[in-house]
Amino acid sequence: MSKVNILPPDVISKIAAGEVIERPASAVKELIENALDAETKNIEIHLNEAGKTLIHIKDTGTGIEKDDIEKIFLRHATSKIKNLDDLNAIQSLGFRGEALYSIAAISDVTLKSKTKGNDSGWAIHLRGGEKIDFKPVTMNNGTEVAIQELFFNTPARRKFLKSNTTELNQILNIIIPYVLFHYDCRFLVKHQNKELLDLKPTSSRKTRIAATLHLDEKYLLETVHSDENQQITVHMILGDINIKRPQKDIQFVCVNGRPVQSKSITFHMNQVYQLIFPPHTYPFFAVKINLPTPNIDVNIHPTKREVKIKNEYQLTSVLRQMCETALMTSGQPLQATKGQSDRATSENLVEKAIVSTRASELSFETPITEEAVGVATPPFYDPYAFPQKTQRPPEAGQPSAETQQTFFPAQKENLQAKLARARFIGSFINKFLLFESDKSLLVIDQHAAQERIAFEKFMEQMESGHIEVQNLLSPILIKLSPQEIMAFEEAKEKLEQIGLSSTMFDGETLALHSYPILLKNPEPAVRYLLSGESIAHCDHATIARRACRSSVMAGDYLNKEKAEFQRDQLMRCRDPFTCPHGRPTVIEMSEKFLDKQFLRT
């Protein structure tokens, strides 16, 4: 019996229409959603050339009736909703009836399907939206879709596609959240016949997550909240303090079975983690939320990537509470990993040099109280601090020369000279180094300065081909995500060249045998180098910037000698007054400026 109908005009007019298929990953997304809507427990995906030449998806779901097979390629043909009321209570992933129509229009597509009650299946072949063939086939229950030659008739779109690595990465980014949240379904993904993922159905979310992302299950916490009156359930799997990443690349949110991006939920979750995480490190979490359909609107985004949640504020406060309680009451203590214990023998530049000099600890010469330092607003953020000379505070990432000019109206040479003879007077919250010089207070951002120093040294070493490396007796083992594994294949040689000698230890673990001494934290550096554009094609500056981004940590206490050594190192840099990302490393507060703040004339 036919189930598919064309939506009536009043519903069509309410649908947030948009470009559905912009790249192979968007086609994959639509086909996975269709398979899950058909209640499949098994999805197999075969790709060639990152989906550009073949996307083949097979499911064991309900199948499609013969009478519907031609209909489903019409625009707004769907079995999932019928009228406006349904549009406000969507239970399925799809509902617009546009995906197959859009896919058929721009590719060569064959769909085969068989339902339980029928002996034979039916196959339809369309090219550029035109039907070419329709015939019976022998097959098992379920549906198979093969998309070939995506964008064959839209050359502009095709030209816009990125490299296979990038497109494949996008596809994995799309697939993985479904794999994590639909843990009762098997997912097999192959690219050019090579297996990328094979996840069997599991009875627990935790197991599925650990197996997919290569995380250690003992570092995962689970917490559930259920409010029967409001029909809200929240299920969280949280990484504890032992899973830290330099980016927010393993954070997932799912609302009513739909993986979504929610800036607000992600923000609140990360904020809770800040209670226990060092700066610039991010946790793993997978938050699964179920809400009554009237509380959410899934019809606000063309690719359904975002949803609108009613009373989101209430929900986020529940999430924060759950997360905080779980982190505070359970979770493993921080484990000393190979990488961390190795650090003792492979100090960064600053520490290394200090070891060879006098080790006497010198105390503050002038006690500095928090208040005395805290009141001064750094002029960088205060456009009124230097009214006639400063037009606007420079933004992070702006060219350094400009920053210096606007920022140090007193001339750069002057600052350089002042910094050279400055006297260290203390350290503020292990983040800022305070120096006194003539009638100025000079404040060095410890982290920014260290990053600048490491960046220039690393550039220098890369260019001269002599990278100082720390060889490891036993390798640092780093579990990679499926995306990182893919990136590794392309980046391997380059990593070797820059002193990060590594091999794949097993299918999912990278073994690091050496790393540049300049990189204090090799694990995040490796992850940065494996993310984004492949480093195989990057210049030295980009590589150095990415590698050094996490090479230093704010928060180490520096005594007088270390602080002065850092100052000296900084002054030897070619571009000492900005970090590699364009932020200032040093600011100057003159006596005059401070007087003004205190309304002294």
Q: Which residues bind ligand ADP (CB under 6 A)?
A: 4, 30, 34-35, 38, 59, 61-64, 72, 77-80, 94-101, 143
Structure-block tokens of residue 246: 């330099």
The answer to whether 326 and 223 are in contact (CB under 8 A) is yes
If the CB atoms of residues 77 and 209 are measured against ligand ADP, the closer one turns out to be: 77
Name which of 90 and 215 has its Cβ closer to ligand ADP. 90
Nearer to Mg ion by Cβ, of 102 and 569: the residue is 102
Q: Cβ closer to ligand ADP: 112 or 447?
A: 112
Indicate which of Mg ion, ligand ADP, none lies near residue 446 (CB less than 5 to 8 Å, by partner kind).
none
Shortest Å distance, C-beta 66 to Mg ion: 19
The stretch among 95-103, 431-439, 527-535, 590-598 that binds Mg ion (CB under 5 A) is 95-103
Encoding tokens for residue 44? 């197999």
Token readout for 236 is 């969280």
- Give the separation between CA 469 and CA 83, rounded to whole angstroms: 66
C-alpha angle 168/169/170, rounded to 5°? 90
Closest distance of CB 50 from Mg ion, Å = 22
Only segment of 12-20, 97-105, 224-232, 278-286 that touches Mg ion (CB under 5 A): 97-105
Looking up tokens 């090219």 gives: 127
Nearer to ligand ADP by Cβ, of 63 and 379: the residue is 63
Applying CB under 5 A, which part among 27-35, 175-183, 221-229, 547-555 lies near Mg ion?
27-35
- CA separation for the pair 577, 399 (Å, rounded): 11
Q: How far is the CB of 294 from ligand ADP (least distance, A)?
A: 20
When CB distances to ligand ADP are compared, the closest residue is: 94
The interface partner of residue 258, options being Mg ion, ligand ADP, none and the CB cut-off 5 to 8 Å by kind, is none
Closer to ligand ADP at the Cβ: 34 or 550? Answer: 34
Selection from Mg ion, ligand ADP, none that 394 binds (CB < 5 to 8 A by kind) is: none
CB of 54 to Mg ion, least distance (A): 20
Binding residues for Mg ion, total number by CB under 5 A = 3
Whether the CB-CB separation of 109 and 146 falls below 8 Å is answered with: yes
Our CB check for ligand ADP shows the closer of 76 and 412 to be 76
**What angle is formed at CA 437 by the lines to CA 435 and CA 443, rounded to 5 degrees?**
35
Q: Does 94 bind Mg ion (CB under 5 A)?
A: yes
Shortest reach from residue 80's CB to ligand ADP, in Å: 5
Q: C-alpha 344: how far from its chain's center?
A: 30
In the bound complex, what is the minimum distance in angstroms from residue 115's beta carbon to ligand ADP?
9
Name residue 251's beta-bridge partners. Answer: 285
Candidates 186, 181, 208, 175; CA nearest to 287 is 181
76 versus 225: smaller Cβ distance to Mg ion:
76
Task: Please state, in angstroms and rounded to a whole number, the distance separating the CA atoms of residues 315 and 434.
Answer: 43
Min dist CB 522 to ligand ADP, Å, is 45
Partner interacting with residue 187 (select from Mg ion, ligand ADP, none; CB below 5-8 Å by kind): none
- On the 0-12 / 13-18 / 19+ scale of CB atoms within 10 A, 494 is middle
* Nearer of residues 6 and 276 to ligand ADP, judged by Cβ: 6
| Kind and range of the H or E run holding 164 | helix 164-181
What is the smallest separation between the CB atom of 142 and ligand ADP, expressed in angstroms? 7
Tell me which residue of 512, 505, 448 sits closest to 475, measured CA to CA: 512
Residue 53 has what DSSP assignment? S
How far apart are the C-alpha atoms of 36 and 39, rounded to whole Å?
A: 5
Which of the choices ligand ADP, Mg ion, none does residue 461 contact, using the CB cut-off of 5 to 8 A by kind?
none
Q: Which is nearer to Mg ion, 32 or 211 (CB)?
A: 32
What residue number has its CB nearest to Mg ion? 94
Closest approach of ligand ADP to the CB of residue 480, in Å = 32
Question: 3-state SS of the chain: helix, strand, coil percent to 5?
Answer: 35, 25, 40
- Which of 60, 440 has the CB closer to ligand ADP? 60
What are the backbone angles phi and psi of residue 504, rounded to the nearest 5°? -80, 125
Chain center to CA of 561: 38
The entry of ligand ADP, Mg ion, none near residue 38 (CB within 5 to 8 angstroms by kind) is: ligand ADP
Minimal distance, residue 62 CB to ligand ADP, in Å: 5
No. of H helices and E strands in the chain? 21, 24
In the complex with ligand ADP, which residue's Cβ is closer, 41 or 320? 41
Using CB under 5 A as the criterion, what x/- string covers residues 34-73 for binding Mg ion? x---------------------------------------
Minimum CB–partner distance for residue 433 and ligand ADP (Å)? 59
**CA nearest to 542, candidates 528, 524, 523, 552:** 528
Cα–Cα distance for residue pair 209/194, rounded to 1 Å: 22
Nearest CA to 3 among 105, 85, 113, 103? 113
Among 87, 99, 286, 319, binds Mg ion (CB under 5 A): 99
Residue 349 interacts with which of ligand ADP, Mg ion, none, CB < 5 to 8 Å by class: none
Q: What is d(CA 601, CA 599) in angstroms, rounded to the nearest whole number?
A: 6
Nearest residue to 38 (alpha-carbon basis) of 17, 13, 65: 65
Strand, coil or helix: what is 137?
A: strand
316 binds, among Mg ion, ligand ADP, none (CB under 5 to 8 A by kind): none
- In DSSP terms, 236 is beta-bridged to 223, 287
| Minimum gap (Å) between residue 160 Cβ and ligand ADP | 23
Instruction: Give 492's contacts (C-beta < 8 A, 6+ positions apart).
Output: 502
Cβ–Cβ under 8 Å, residues 478 and 523: yes
Q: Whole-number minimum distance, CB 304 to ligand ADP, in Å? A: 10
Looking at beta carbons only, is 34 or 348 nearer to Mg ion? 34
Extract the tokens encoding 565. Answer: 């050594």
Residues forming contacts to Mg ion in the complex (CB under 5 A) are 34, 94, 99
